[in-house]
Amino acid sequence: MRETVTTRLLVFTASLLIPSLSFLAVFFLAPGWNISTDGLQDTRIAVHRGASFRTIVSTLQQQGIVRHERPLLITAALFPELRNIKPGRYTVPPGMANYTLLEYLRSRPQDEEQVMIPVGVRQERIASIIGRQLDTDSLSVMTRSQDRAFLDTLGITAESFEGYSFPGTYNFPWASTSGEVLQFLAGRFRSFFNDSLQARARELGMSELEILTLASIVEAETPLDREKPLIAGVYHNRLKRNMKLQADPTVQYALGDRRERLLYKDLETDSPYNTYRYRGLPPGPICNPGEASIRAALFPAETRHLYFVATGDGGHYFAETHSEHLRNVRKYRRSRY
């Protein structure tokens, strides 16, 4: 008699639990219950940095991935770890359940974006590229680029990140922060500027910043790799003689734009970047130099040249004396007319 009562109690209890368990299984794990089956193709959604979990769920509903928001909110309330969805772009396949959908978004690797950092451009242009491709604000990139505390963590003594965006093509997680991107680019430069190149800089009696600054001027002067050691040699010679560098690109940087022709009044601009007014190197780089320009600054051509002027076809005339330089200037002017 006792066994029969016990058995009946167990059966009765199970009859109460089984529907509840079945409901929970359907609620959390069954595909198609809350997940829209209207479309059979993957759906792409973007989770922007700073978006709340409720905003993400609302996006899923607006995109037609789920019919109702509440089941996802309930699921996340019971499993709080599912709320940790990183910013990124996600391709969501059809036919997922409430739990598996959130787990998929939580654990899915962030989508990557290929970003090309061109040679010889200023930090404003790089900030624009990063902002456009990585779902961040270019202004935040510029603000980070001038953050003294942040620069100190990277060992950058310059007044800004200018020059440290080592050119190349890189893959970044979409929605990377400006700090993450700049830290990566500085790391790429430091990987290139290895112990042997640092030792070479010391041989020249120059710091990392001075080499990078000189390399940026070389980069701005010519796109021709074969000419870069010669141009670097000219500037090294002028530095040794305590001559003003008189580099047009530094004046353009001081003016804030890149003009095709400088006027005489431009050369009077009062800025430490104006190498027509102030001797020595400017305070920091004027663009982001590439590998060829950095190597040219470290290993300049052995030359006695002190002057150069454009040929008009992309190259330069070089001269040892001022009188020879003036003849080259006249040749350049004739080529323009």
The pLDDT tens digits of the residues spanning 315-331 come to 999 999 999 999 988 88
Chain segment 17-62, per-residue pLDDT in tens:
444 544 444 445 545 555 655 555 678 888 888 889 999 999 988 8
Chain segment 237-266, per-residue pLDDT in tens:
999 999 999 999 999 999 987 667 788 888
Residue 1 has pLDDT above 70, yes or no: no
pTM of the model: 0.81
More confident residue, 90 or 229: 229
Q: Are 52 and 109 in contact (CB under 8 A)?
A: no
pLDDT band at 335 (very low <50, low <70, confident <90, very high): confident
Identify whether residues 99 and 122 lie together within a single domain. no
d(C-alpha 281, C-alpha 206), whole Å: 11
Domain that holds residue 93: 17-107
Share of residues in the chain with pLDDT > 90 (%): 60
Identify whether residues 93 and 167 lie together within a single domain. no
In a domain, 204, yes or no: yes
Identify whether residues 221 and 293 lie together within a single domain. yes
Final residue of a structural domain among 175, 192, 209: 192
Identify whether residues 224 and 281 lie together within a single domain. yes
Identify whether residues 171 and 225 lie together within a single domain. no
Identify whether residues 144 and 227 lie together within a single domain. no
In a domain, 331, yes or no: no
In a domain, 336, yes or no: no
d(C-alpha 303, C-alpha 229), whole Å: 10
CATH of residue 64's domain is 3.30.1490.480
**Whole-number pLDDT of residue 41:** 67
Number of domains in the chain: 3
Identify whether residues 130 and 216 lie together within a single domain. no
What integer is the mean pLDDT of 304-312?
A: 92
Chain segment 176-232, per-residue pLDDT in tens:
899 999 999 999 999 999 999 999 999 999 999 999 999 999 999 999 999 999 999
d(C-alpha 313, C-alpha 315), whole Å: 6
Per-position b or e across 13-43, b if 16+ CB within 10 A of its CB = eeeeeeeeeeeeeebbebeebbbbeeeeeee
Final residue of a structural domain among 171, 192, 213: 192
d(C-alpha 245, C-alpha 251), whole Å: 11
In a domain, 77, yes or no: yes
Choice among 22-36, 52-66, 102-116, 128-142 with the minimum mean pLDDT: 22-36
- If you ran DSSP here, which 8-state letter would residue 109 be given? P
Final residue of a structural domain among 43, 74, 107: 107
- If you ran DSSP here, which 8-state letter would residue 89 be given? E
- Among 227, 229, 197, 218, residue whose Cα is nearest residue 302: 229
Choice among 84-88, 141-145, 207-211, 298-302 with the minimum mean pLDDT: 84-88
In a domain, 227, yes or no: yes
Give the CA distances from residue 178 to residues 138, 143, 244, 319, in Å, rounded to whole numbers and listed in that order.
Answer: 8, 9, 37, 44
220: burial class by Cβ within 10 Å (0-12, 13-18, 19+)? buried
**Whole-number pLDDT of residue 333:** 81
What integer is the mean pLDDT of 137-144?
A: 94
Average pLDDT, the chain: 87
Identify whether residues 185 and 206 lie together within a single domain. no
Identify whether residues 23 and 57 lie together within a single domain. yes
In a domain, 145, yes or no: yes
- For residue 219, what are the contacts with CB-CB under 8 A and spacing of at least 6? 119, 120, 228, 287, 288, 289, 290, 293
In a domain, 318, yes or no: no
Identify whether residues 167 and 103 lie together within a single domain. no
In a domain, 71, yes or no: yes
- Among 238, 320, 226, residue whose Cα is nearest residue 279: 238
